Structure 1
Amino acid sequence: MYRGATVGVVLPAYNEAGFVGDVIHEMPAYVDRIYAIDDRSTDSTWDEIREAARDDADSTAVDDAENVGQLVADGGASALAARATVHDAIGRVVPIQHRENRGAGGAIKTGYLAALADGVDATVTVDADGQMDLSQMPRLLDPIVEGQADYAKGNRLLSAEYRTAMPRFRFVGNAILSVLTKIASGYWKTMDPQNGYTAISHDALAAIEVENLYEYYGYCNDLLVKLNVRGMRVADVAMPAVYGEEESSIAYAEYIPKVSLMLLGNFLWRQKTKYLVLDFHPLALFYLVGAGTAAIGVLGTLLTVGTALSAIGAPVVQGSTSLLLFLAGVAFLLFAMVFDMAESEHLEAQIH
């Protein structure tokens, strides 16, 4: 336990032999549960998880034997049954095998479902490749156990020192997705949305309908949108990353367009659900009118160019009208963004 709260760690692993065992060995003693999910690896990841679990069980003292005995007592909650096999716990490690490869988001979802079934107070996500400094975990847990946030996430961009350690291509991609995620999620101060080092409270996990989480690398962006709709507080925590011999499995040429399309859908869903269904706020209408007016302005400009050769003077009038419509649309969009920022400002915090 950590400061009176039970702690679970979701550890998704796909072909992480040579790394995942070390992560399990280095897990802090206050962690009560380690949900190690093998996402149908083709290497020896599964064997390494079980071997490391046995080593961890031999070296870790368990103070609350009764509580550990309740771990996934039914052999896996019903929501897990169709997607994974939950094996008997080895000490504090719960080895879980997917029946088919489900991706990073799918593995996180499986771990979250197991943590919900166990009623864990705070659930941390840790990558199995050794990139995350486990000594920093209390910085994520403190805002949760102190009631300051419902969700805390690492942020490698808050500190200049941490930013310079990030490879250039990752920094550029991260910056693009940070901007898109701000707009989609409503958390305008939040950066580094791709950071997978996070902690979430039991109440927040229960509120977001885990079964509907996105099952691709954009799961962390999707999660922020769902948290905002439910009015959950998010803390951005300055966090270093460790870059070693591991290789990223993300194909960025496919990743950014796919996640961007998902974020567009999430933005529309958030506007409808938060500002029209659950409550009413005119900013949803500002977004709608702004986007529509700006689009009409752009269309008018294209039509003006098309008729430029057939009418003298008409293109000038049409062009001016189109420009005014476009500028009016942009103004409406900016008003909507200002309202959106104000609505979520009290839900955000930054911890340096």
Structure 2
Amino acid sequence: MRIAVVIPCFKVTRHIEDVIARIGPEVEYIFAIDDACPDNSGDFIEQTIKDPRLKVLRHASNTGVGGAVITGYRAALEAGADILVKVDGDGQMAPELISQFVQPIEVGDADYVKGNRFYSGSAVREMPWVRLFGNAFLSFITKLSSGYWSIFDPTNGFTAIHARALESIDLDRVSKRYFFESDMLIRLGDLRAVVIDIPMRAVYADEVSGIRISRVMIEFLWRHTAATVKRIIYMYFLRDFSLASLNLLFGVILLTFGVTFGAVAWSGSIATGVPATTGTVMLSALPIVLGFQMLLFFASYDIASEPKVPIQRLRITTRVPMRADYRAKSRN
């Protein structure tokens, strides 16, 4: 399989030369995207790095890490790449791991492979506590929004994807900023693609990070909440309707009734000073217990339903051919 590496470049002139030099011979194409970098990363790369595999792409205005990666993805697909690897240019990721990332895709075990910095306890201790807390929180809500319960570290930018899986995604609708990695997981979950983690160790030195946790946390929480609701409605009430759907529906109804009735009865008891009767307590507690059990069953079913068969094995794509494709077919 032909492997392409995509590197978004923004204020990475101190590290990019070393990153590209460490990319092994298994890679056929390297696309570096200058995302309107104030340090002129594109000019720096062309002047200092002489690698025949390398091509520099430029943006007239900054589009964010997601926009830069999407530009590289499209260029790699046009070049005929089968596996597309995304590596950051700030030196936090070891390019020597590329062969490990692409191996599960090459043998047909996965459609998308991503790094996980939480596999090793020693690696976690080296991570700044702000990043540790933020990634732990985001990992949990990403499990809810994407349906990938067995993965962690969703914002990890070291990824590899099969071309067939990538072509099934509408790249025009993928988030262009810091939500890019999470949005990719959400859209891959909608496709039922197989995603796996690869252990890795990140290096934190003098790299420049433009992300501010306080600024993006609310945005991430809102986006993940909306994606969770959409996934559950689509997966359990539109695409399919099963016993899990009934458990979710009646579980929510019973739990809501029990909590609401109990709160009203409790407030009335406080106001009047008259203790609630045993029947009133049971009428509140029983729906809460039953509803909670039903929701636990639904969660267990959802976890067990994580995709198992890679879509690359199915040899199908949901990509809609463009008009140019139709014209080419008609000419042939």
Give the structure-2-normalised TM-score: 0.83
1:168 to 95, 115, 129: 129
Q: Between the two proteins, what is the percent identity of the paired residues?
A: 33
**Counterpart position of 2:89:** 128
Q: Shift in Å at residue 302 of structure 1?
A: 4.3
Counterpart in the other structure of 2:301? 339
8 Å CA contact 1:8–1:123 kept in 2: the answer is yes
3-state SS, counterpart of residue 88 of structure 2: coil
Q: Which moved more, 1:149-158 or 1:112-121?
A: 112-121
- 1:44 is aligned to 40
* Residue among 277, 291, 299 paired with 1:329: 291
Within 2, Cα distance between the matches of 1:22 and 1:281? 53
When residues 37 and 322 of structure 1 are mapped into structure 2, their CA distance, relative to the original with a 3 A threshold, is farther
The 8 Å contact of residues 34 and 40 in structure 2, kept in 1 or not, is answered as no
Matched position secondary structure for 1:344: coil
1:129, CA displacement in angstroms?
A: 0.6
Q: Distance in 2 between matches of 1:42 and 1:95?
A: 16
Report the Cα distance in structure 2 between the residues aligned to 1:8 and 1:335, rounded to whole angstroms.
Answer: 42
Seen in structure 2, the aligned counterparts of structure 1 residues 256 and 290 have a Cα distance that, compared at 3 Å, is farther
Give the gaps of 5 or more residues in structure 1.
Answer: 58-90
Deviations 1:171-191 (A, max 9, x none): 121111111111221111111
In structure 2, C-alpha distance between the alignment counterparts of 1:284 and 1:117, rounded to whole Å: 42
- List 4+ stretches of structure 1 deviating above 6 A: none
Partner of residue 225, structure 2: 264
Q: Do 2:169 and 2:187's aligned partners in 1 also have CA atoms closer than 8 Å? A: yes
Aligned-partner residue type, residue 90 of structure 2: D
After superposition, the Cα gap between the structure-2 partners of 1:304 and 1:174, relative to the gap in structure 1 and judged at 3 Å, is: same
Q: Which residue of 2 aligns with 1:117?
A: 78
1:266 Cα deviation after fit: 1.4
What is the DSSP-based 3-state SS (H/G/I as helix, E as strand, rest coil) of the residue aligned with 1:192? Answer: coil
**Does the CA-based 8 Å contact 2:147-2:303 persist in structure 1?**
yes
The one-letter amino acid of 2:20's match is I
Q: Note the 1:68-79 alignment, pairs <5 A.
A: none
Q: Deviations along 1:213-237, whole A, 9 cap, x unmatched?
A: 1223222222122222222111211
Partner of 2:325: none
Instruction: Please report the RMSD computed on the Cα atoms of aligned residues, expressed in angstroms.
Output: 2.4
The amino acid of 1:46's aligned partner reads G
Q: Is the 8 A contact 1:20 1:48 kept in 2?
A: no
Alpha-carbon offset, residue 146 of structure 1: 1.0
- 8 Å CA contact 2:7–2:31 kept in 1: the answer is yes
Q: Contact 1:25–1:56 at 8 Å: present in 2 too? A: no
Deviations 1:211-260 (A, max 9, x none): 22122322222212222222211121111111111133221112222112
User: Does the C-alpha gap of structure 1 residues 8 and 327 become closer, same or farther in structure 2, counting only changes over 3 Å?
Assistant: same
Q: 1:113 to 1:322 in 2, by over 3 A?
A: farther
- For 1:131-280, what aligned pairs fall within 5 Å after superposition? 131-280=92-241
The match for 2:251 is: 290
Report the AA paired with residue 191 of structure 1.
Answer: F
**Residues 1:107 and 2:68 are matched in the alignment:** yes
User: How far off is 1:7 after superposition?
Assistant: 0.8
| Corresponding position of 2:316 | none
TM-superposed CA distance for 1:123, in Å, is 0.4
Query: In structure 2, do the counterparts of structure 1 residues 101 and 172 end up closer, same or farther at CA, with 3 Å as the change threshold?
Result: same
Residue 120 of structure 1: CA displacement?
Answer: 1.0
Letter in 2 for 1:126: V
Deviates more, 1:36-45 or 1:145-154: 36-45
Alpha-carbon distance, 1:296 to partner: 4.1
SS of the residue corresponding to residue 69 of structure 2 reads helix
- 2:303 and 2:184 mapped to 1: Cα distance? 18
Q: Is the 8 A contact 1:234 1:347 kept in 2?
A: no
Shift of 1:130: 0.7
Q: Which residue of 1 aligns with 2:321?
A: none
Conserved 8 A contact 2:11-2:208: no
**TM-aligned CA deviation for residue 343 of structure 1:** 1.2
The CA deviation at 1:333 is 1.9
Separation in structure 2 between the aligned mates of residue 347 and residue 158 of structure 1, nearest angstrom: 24
Give the structure 2 partner of residue 9 of structure 1.
Answer: 5
Residues 194 and 220, structure 1, Cα contact 8 Å, conserved in 2: yes
Structure 1 counterpart of 2:323: none
Deviations 1:302-338 (A, max 9, x none): 4445434443447566665444433333222211111
Amino acid at match of 2:105: I
- Deviation track 1:83-119 (CA, whole Å, cap 9, x = no partner) reads xxxxxxxx32232222332222222222222223333
Instruction: After superposing the two structures, state which structure 1 stretch, 149-158 or 99-108, moved more.
Output: 99-108
